[in-house]
Structure 1
Amino acid sequence: MTRAVIIGCGNTGQRVARLAAARRWQVTGIVRSTDSADHLASAGIAAQALDLDQPDPDLPDADILFHFAPPPRTGDDDPRLAAVLTAYTERPPRRVVYIGTSGVYGDCGGDWVTEDRPINPQTDRARRRAAAEARLSGWPGPVAILRAPGIYGPGRLPVERVRRGEPVLADADSPWTNRIHIDDLASAAMAAAERGPDRAIYNATDGQPTPMGAAYRAIAQRLGLPAPPTISRADAERDWSDMRLSFLRESRRLDNRRLREQLGLTLQYPDLVAGLDASLSPDD
């Protein structure tokens, strides 16, 4: 029986756990707190609470290792991933699947971006992810890396911002943004585990980039609300937080042909319009 260990078994990890269980794999989800472990157990997922910021984590044996836990919020490395890989040095999994970020590409001026483009991380959080990728490049066994952009799905949409009528950047001033539905990201992780070649990197995206405001307008339309007002880039630079502004300073359009063709993955939600109905509940 294939043993799968999911490090950071949150929303995406739970979806992967269900897909793995359907294949009759033995699944263990690793989470930070006992409350999270209890939540997984109530969903029928075997769980273990571990603090990856402590040395020598006691991790179960794994044939397939999914690493979805984020790095710490400070620093320029990912010591959590380092601790996990060290724990498996003497008993390496057959394959490691890592979900990182498309932020490692940095600003690409709106160009179409394939996985062959050299990375150029320009924020601290992207540099931590780039360091994680570099660490995985030295791992002796097969590795697959999914570079994910914005992940959306149930409970992962800016519904309250749309309801409040918060402004969005005018399309003429907007960077290109990319996204993937959380169910498709889980399917991509499973496909990479089952049939991805060694040292493969994938843009885990639906391949349909839009200006930033397009998602807000589509949500408003689905909810029967007015389209959000727009503001100029100059006004956004004055009024928005540094974190939010950081996403305005990078523009790229992610190509997903490798994901679809090499893994043979058919996306359930190939664009935002297709995914919204599955992501908005009647209460929204």
Structure 2
Amino acid sequence: MHNHIIGFGDIGQRVAKLELARGHQVSTILRNKARIDAVNNSGIDVTYADLDLPDTLHRQLPQQTRVFYFAPPPATGTADSCMENWLNSIKNITPAKIIYISTTGIYGDCQGQWVDEQHPPNPTTDRAKRRLSAENQLAKWGQIRTVPIIRLRVPGIYHPSTLPIISLQRGRPILRSEDAPYSNRIHADDLAQICLAAADHGVAGNVYNVADNDTSSMSNYFIKIAYAFGLPKPLEISWEEAKLELSPTMISYLQESRRISNRKMISQLGVKLLYPTLDDGLRCLGKSATAQPPAFL
């Protein structure tokens, strides 16, 4: 089976490793030419392409290739032109299935309510609107071409290199716990196996919310990481202070509160989470703030 990965970052590399271990063929595209030889030498077929440059998207994939689309949208605007460019480049190809990583951010602020896949999208940030743009483009394209599209709506992804260790070491404050909204997350290893489960068992046209079983708050996330790594508990500040001291991006995250239901993911995809809680994930990561980079980097 041939699998093509668009967006060869951390999750793309984890999925590639899993597919290679299953004896499947894997290909990808890279815009960083300096990485191509190293990735080719790992057994992955790599060609140069840049989703922002349509003229570079000339790779012809085998028919019935499974595609994992993990590439982020552009950094600005409310539409995903990268998705548009890629779909235009495969007019003569019929993939077996396309698995797309979207974001739970497209639900917007749900005021702490539980959110399943029936909840209507209501994105409030441009980054979430870009993701919804990509979802809609894919869904329409899949209907026209009768290609199964699986959308995974994913919350914050954590692994060793994304933990806020430096922020905690520098003593940056967090929003006080009683004001902190609900947030959700998933360990990178779990997300990789969920992507494969979606490719193997996902129902055409379906959306699956992705999350572990441990809905809590962003403040609780920082506090637990500080404890796990032997760092001082961060100072908790009020909303008024947070607006002055925290970054605009962090403030935008803190202005949305939702609890993501993973019931459909568990029941339909047959996923058994490796790290069902944040505590499980942190125990796996250990006490070190550093980790070996993925082999393909």
Corresponding position of 1:85: 87
Deviation at 1:109, TM superposition (A): 0.3
Deviation at 1:200, TM superposition (A): 1.1
Corresponding position of 2:227: 221
Over 3 Å counting, the alpha-carbon distance change for 1:13 and 1:281 in structure 2 is farther
Corresponding position of 1:96: 98
Deviation at 1:41, TM superposition (A): 3.1
Q: Percent identity?
A: 42
Q: Is 1:144 aligned with 2:150?
A: yes
Q: Is 1:37 aligned with 2:36?
A: yes
Give the alignment partner of residue 235 of structure 1, picking from 233, 236, 241.
241
Deviation at 1:142, TM superposition (A): 0.1
Shifted more, 264-273 versus 28-37: the winner is: 28-37
Q: Please give the per-residue CA displacement for 1:106-162, whole angstroms capped at 9, x wherever unaligned.
A: 000010000110000100111111111111111231000011110001211001111
Corresponding position of 1:14: 13
4+ long deviations beyond 4 Å: none
Report the 3-state secondary structure (helix = DSSP H, G, I; strand = E; otherwise coil) of the residue aligned with 2:207. strand
| Within-5 A mapping of 1:95-114 | 95-114=97-116
Cα distance in 2 for partners of 1:211, 1:75 equals 28
Runs of 5+ consecutive residues of structure 2 not aligned to the other structure: 291-297
Corresponding position of 1:23: 22
Shifted more, 112-121 versus 62-71: the winner is: 62-71
- Matched positions, count: 283
Partner amino acid for 1:72?
A: P
Give the alignment partner of residue 197 of structure 1, picking from 203, 206, 210.
203
Query: Is contact 1:154-1:280 (8 Å) kept?
Result: no
Please report the TM-score for the alignment, with normalisation by the length of structure 2. 0.91
Q: Is 1:122 aligned with 2:88?
A: no
Cα distance in 2 for partners of 1:30, 1:52 equals 9
Partner amino acid for 2:66?
A: I
Q: Please give the per-residue CA displacement for 1:85-104, whole angstroms capped at 9, x wherever unaligned.
A: 22222111010000011110
Query: Is contact 1:13-1:68 (8 Å) kept?
Result: yes
What is the RMSD of the two structures over their aligned residues, measured on CA atoms? 1.4
Cα distance in 2 for partners of 1:269, 1:221 equals 18
Query: Is contact 1:155-1:279 (8 Å) kept?
Result: no
Query: Is contact 1:153-1:182 (8 Å) kept?
Result: yes
Cα distance in 1 for partners of 2:289, 2:75 equals 33
Q: Please give the per-residue CA displacement for 1:1-45, whole angstroms capped at 9, x wherever unaligned.
A: x11110011110011001111221110122221123234235443
Deviation at 1:46, TM superposition (A): 2.6
Over 3 Å counting, the alpha-carbon distance change for 1:198 and 1:251 in structure 2 is same
Runs of 5+ consecutive residues of structure 1 not aligned to the other structure: none
Cα distance in 1 for partners of 2:247, 2:229 equals 27
Query: Is contact 1:5-1:60 (8 Å) kept?
Result: no
| Within-5 A mapping of 1:127-276 | 127-138=129-140, 139=142, 140=145, 141-276=147-282
